Amino acid sequence: MQIEALAFDVFGAVVDWRGSIVREGEALTERSGVKVDWKQFADAW
C-alpha cells in the first residue's frame, strides 16, 4: 500500500476566528451600545 496524500484541517488551530469575532463584537458594543453575548454568538456561528 502506498500513501498518496495526507490531509489535515488546521484552520481552527491556525486562525483564531472566534477570538476575532468576540473582540470586534465587543468593540461594536462599546461604539454603538448593541448588546450581544459575543462569545455565544461566535459559538453559534
Q: How confident is the model at residue 8 (pLDDT cuts 50, 70, 90)?
A: confident
Q: What is the pTM of this model?
A: 0.67
Using an 8 Å Cβ cutoff, are 24 and 31 in contact?
no
Q: Give the C-alpha separation, 14 to 9, whole Å.
A: 10
* Averaged pLDDT, 17-34: 94
Ramachandran quadrant class, 9 (left: phi over 0; alpha: psi -120 to 50; beta: rest) = beta
Give 4's DSSP letter: -
pLDDT at 7: 85
With 80 as the cut, is the pLDDT of residue 15 above it? yes
| Number of separate helices (H) and strands (E) present in the chain | 3, 0
DSSP-based three-state secondary structure for 5: coil
